[in-house]
Amino acid sequence: MDFHGDINPKKDMEVNRTPMKLPIEVIYDSDVHTIEVIGNGSLEAEVFLYNINGTLESYSPILNTDFTVLNLGTYSIQIQGDGWYAEGEVEIE
pLDDT of residue 20: 58
Range of the domain at 56: 2-11+28-92
pLDDT of residue 2: 61
Domain membership of residue 46 (yes or no) is yes
Cβ atoms of 37 and 47 closer than 8 Å: yes
Specify the number of domains making up the chain: 1
Q: How far is the C-alpha of 59 from the C-alpha of 77, rounded, in Å?
A: 10
Closest-CA residue to 26 (of 71, 60, 53)? 60
**For residue 56, what is the domain's CATH number?**
2.60.40.10
pLDDT of residue 66: 96
Domain membership of residue 75 (yes or no) is yes
pLDDT of residue 82: 87
Domain membership of residue 16 (yes or no) is no
Q: Per residue of the chain (93 residues), what is the pLDDT tens digit?
A: 566 666 544 445 555 555 556 778 999 999 999 999 999 878 899 999 999 999 999 999 999 999 999 899 999 999 998 888 889 999 998
Residue 39, CA distances (Å) to 9, 16, 54, 86 in order: 28, 26, 24, 12
Report the predicted TM-score, pTM, of the whole model to 2 decimal places.
Answer: 0.78
